[in-house]
């Protein structure tokens, strides 16, 4: 018996739903397994001393306090450069850029920057900021390198978030006598804030976990003191994990897995707080 067109369409839709559901379950299951495995391996190494002491015996003993603070310094430095520049770039592309070939070239360049491997950013940071700019291997050189890597994510997220804001809101503000810049600052940007925050968090989370860019621009194997300014070298959690596994014989597995757990929990906590804020913000916005 021949199936009607509507029945074939319903069967095809059911098959697609099953495939998509299976793919989503596979991704979520893999991510959940990875997180639970890191938690299982990392919990034995966690302690108050682990979080508050400097590393000893080439990292086989002691804690990760300098690496934790160094990572915080670099992420804050990256945010200080990447967030304003990225948001301004996204605002320009979404609100002011003319529909010309030059604008399409800018968007193409941003998309290409997002696909550049992190090791290439590390080499660029070494040449541009460590050597040419004279910053040396330092917090500011690493922050500027990670800024270059983070900018495409922030720019794209800002532009897309602004494009999701209905034009009626802008027209209403302009009809009431508001200028273009005032409309963008008081109407478009607040409405697009949840999407912008998503892009910022994703970009900074990637920056916090990168090893290759900071490998060339300021991270060191071990130091017992904290960075004393933007021109100082620093320890960082991802680089600490890398050096322990690759350069230290008989490395302490509990401490290394504990370091990985601290990094994952730190990024997850910030992402969770951002998600809670976005949900609350979106409930307040009615279009």
167-176, pLDDT tens digit by residue? 888 888 888 8
The pLDDT, as a whole number, for residue 179 is 87
Tokens of 117: 């491997």
Average pLDDT of 128-156?
94
Strand locations in the chain (E): 55-56, 61-62
Q: Is the pLDDT of residue 248 over 80?
A: yes
Which of residues 2 and 25 earns the better pLDDT score? 25
- Give the other-Cβ count within 10 Å of 178's Cβ: 16
Dihedral of alpha carbons 76, 80, 85, 91, sign: positive
User: Within its chain, how far is the Cα of 242 from the centroid?
Assistant: 19
Q: Is the pLDDT of residue 198 over 80?
A: yes
The pLDDT, as a whole number, for residue 23 is 95
The pLDDT, as a whole number, for residue 258 is 93
* Arithmetic mean of pLDDT over the chain: 89
The pLDDT, as a whole number, for residue 25 is 94
Question: CA-CA distance, 213 to 154, in Å (whole number)?
Answer: 18
Q: Is the pLDDT of residue 74 over 60?
A: yes
Which of residues 285 and 15 earns the better pLDDT score? 15
The pLDDT, as a whole number, for residue 3 is 61
pTM, full prediction: 0.88
The pLDDT, as a whole number, for residue 285 is 63
Domains in the chain: ranges and CATH: 63-284 (1.10.3720.10)
Task: State the pLDDT confidence band at 249, using cuts at 50, 70 and 90.
Answer: confident
Q: Is the pLDDT of residue 2 over 80?
A: no
């Amino acid at each position: 018996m021949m199936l009607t067109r509507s029945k074939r369409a319903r069967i095809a839709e059911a098959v697609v739903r099953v495939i998509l559901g299976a793919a989503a379950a596979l991704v979520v299951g893999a991510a959940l397994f990875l997180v639970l495995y890191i938690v299982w391996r990392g919990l034995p190494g966690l302690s108050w001393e682990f979080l508050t002491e400097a590393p000893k015996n080439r990292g086989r003993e002691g804690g990760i306090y300098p690496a934790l603070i160094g990572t915080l310094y670099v992420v804050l430095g990256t945010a200080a450069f990447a967030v304003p520049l990225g948001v301004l770039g996204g605002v320009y592309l979404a609100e002011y850029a003319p529909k010309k070939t030059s604008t399409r070239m800018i968007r193409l360049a941003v998309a290409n920057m997002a696909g550049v491997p992190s090791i290439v950013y590390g080499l660029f940071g070494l040449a541009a900021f460590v050597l040419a700019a004279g910053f040396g291997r330092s917090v500011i050189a690493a922050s500027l390198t990670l800024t270059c890597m983070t900018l495409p994510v922030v720019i794209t997220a800002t532009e897309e978030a602004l494009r999701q804001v209905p034009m009626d809101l802008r027209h209403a503000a302009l009809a009431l006598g508001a200028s273009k810049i005032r409309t963008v600052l008081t109407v478009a940007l607040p409405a697009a804030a949840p999407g912008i925050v998503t892009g910022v968090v994703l970009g900074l989370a990637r920056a916090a976990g990168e090893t290759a860019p900071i490998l060339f621009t300021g991270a060191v194997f071990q130091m017992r003191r904290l960075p004393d300014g933007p021109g100082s070298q620093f320890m960082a959690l991802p680089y600490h994990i890398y050096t322990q596994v690759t350069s230290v014989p008989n490395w302490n597995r509990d401490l290394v897995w504990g370091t990985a757990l601290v990094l994952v929990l730190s990024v997850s906590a910030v992402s969770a707080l951002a998600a809670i804020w976005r949900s609350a913000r979106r409930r307040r916005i009615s279009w």
